[in-house]
A and B are shown apart, each in its own frame.
Chain A
Amino acid sequence: MKYVRIPIALMTALLLVVAPYFVAQAPAATVGPVTDPIGVVKINKGQPIIIAYWLVITGPNGNLGIDSRRGIEIAIDDRKGTLLGHPIRLIGEDSGCGAEGGTTAATKLAANKQIVAAIGSTCSSEARPGAPILWKAGISTVSPSNTAPDLTDPKRGPTFDGYLRTAHNDLVQGAVAAQFVRTQLKFSRAATIHDGSPYAEGLANAFADVFKKQGGTIVAQEAVNVGDTDMRPVLTKIAAAKPQLIYYPIFVAEAGFITRQAKEVAGLEQTKLMAADGVFDPNFLKAAGDAAVGMYQSSPDFGAFGPGYQVFLQKHQKKYGGKPLSVFHAHAYDAASVIFAAIEKVAKKDAQGNTYVGRKALRDALFATKGFKGITGTLTCNQYGDCADPKIAVYQITSGDPNKWDPGTANPKKIWSPAAK
Chain B
Amino acid sequence: MITRRPRWTSYLGIGAVTGGVAVFLALVGMVETFSRRQIIVGVISLGHALLLLTGLASGYAAGRRAGRPAAALGGGVLAGAATGVVVAAFVVLGTSVDFRHMFVASSPGLYDILTFARGRAGLPLVVLAWTLVSVVGAGLALLPATIRRPAFAGAVTVIFLGLFQELLQLTLQEGTVQTLLRGFLFTGDGLLPRGALTGFAVAAVGSIASWRWGATVRGRARSMPPRSRRISAYTALLLAVIILFYLPRIVGEFPSQVLVFVGLFTLMGLGLNLEVGFAGLLDLGFVAFFAIGAYTVALLTTPEKYAIAQFSFWLAVPVALVVSLVAGVFFGLPILGIRGDYLAIATLGFGEIMRLLVLSDFLKPWLGGSRGIINLPKPIIFGYEFKEFGQLFWITIVASAFIAFVAARLRDSRLGRSWMAIREDEDVAEAMGINTVTSKLLAYGIGGAFAGMGGAIFAVMIGSVFPHSFNLLVSINTLALIIVGGMGSLPGVIVGSLFLVGLPELLREFAEFRYLVYGAVLILMMIVRPEGLWPEAARARELHAEEAPAPAAEEALAAVGSDGEA
Contacts and interface: CB of A to CB of B under 8 A. Distances in A.
Chains A and B come from one and the same complex: yes
Interface of A: 3-4, 7, 10-11, 14-15, 18, 21, 58, 93-94, 98-100, 103-104, 107-108, 110-113, 125, 128-129, 132, 136-137, 157, 194, 196-198, 200-202, 221, 223, 225
B505 A110 contact: no
Interface string B434-468: 00000000000000000000000000011110111
B369 A129 contact: no
Contact of A7 (B235, B360, B466, B512): B235
B112 interface: no
A225 B462 contact: no
A108 B508 contact: yes
Contacts of B360: 223
Given A99-B468, A129-B463, A14 B508 contact: no
B464 A99 contact: yes
Contacts of B544: none
B254 to A, nearest CB: 4
B238 A128 contact: no
A125 B467 CA distance: 11
B257 A104 contact: yes
A228 to B, nearest CB: 11
Contact of B462 (A10, A58, A99, A194): A99
Given A99-B462, A99-B468, A104 B228 contact: no
Nearest to A14: B242
Contact of A201 (B238, B371, B461, B468): B371
B232 A94 contact: no
B466 A111 contact: no
A108 B254 contact: yes
Contact of B246 (A18, A194, A221): A18
21 contacts: A3-B231, A7-B231, A18-B249, A93-B508, A94-B508, A94-B511, A99-B464, A100-B462, A103-B462, A104-B508, A107-B254, A108-B254, A110-B254, A128-B374, A128-B463, A128-B464, A129-B463, A196-B467, A198-B371, A202-B371, A225-B356
B278 interface: no
A103 B238 contact: no
B290 interface: no
Interface in B379-435: 387, 389
Given A129-B463, A196-B370, A157 B468 contact: no
B253 A110 contact: yes
B469 to A, nearest CB: 6
B94 to A, nearest CB: 21
Contacts of A137: 253
Q: Which of A94, A103, A108, A157 has the most CB of B within 10 A?
A: A108
Interface residues of B, number: 42
B119 interface: no
Given A104-B257, A110-B253, 20 more contacts: A7-B234, A10-B239, A58-B512, A94-B508, A98-B468, A104-B254, A104-B508, A107-B257, A125-B372, A136-B387, A137-B253, A194-B370, A196-B359, A196-B370, A197-B370, A198-B466, A201-B369, A201-B371, A221-B361, A225-B356
A347 B554 CA distance: 73
Contacts of B466: 98-99, 125, 198
A111 B253 contact: yes
Given A103-B257, A198-B372, A129 B170 contact: no
B374 A4 contact: no
B252 interface: yes
Interface pairs A-B: 10 shortest CB-CB: A7-B235, A196-B370, A108-B254, A111-B254, A21-B249, A111-B253, A107-B257, A107-B254, A111-B252, A198-B371
Contacts of A14: 239, 242
A132 to B, nearest CB: 7
B462 A112 contact: no
B382 to A, nearest CB: 15
B173 interface: yes
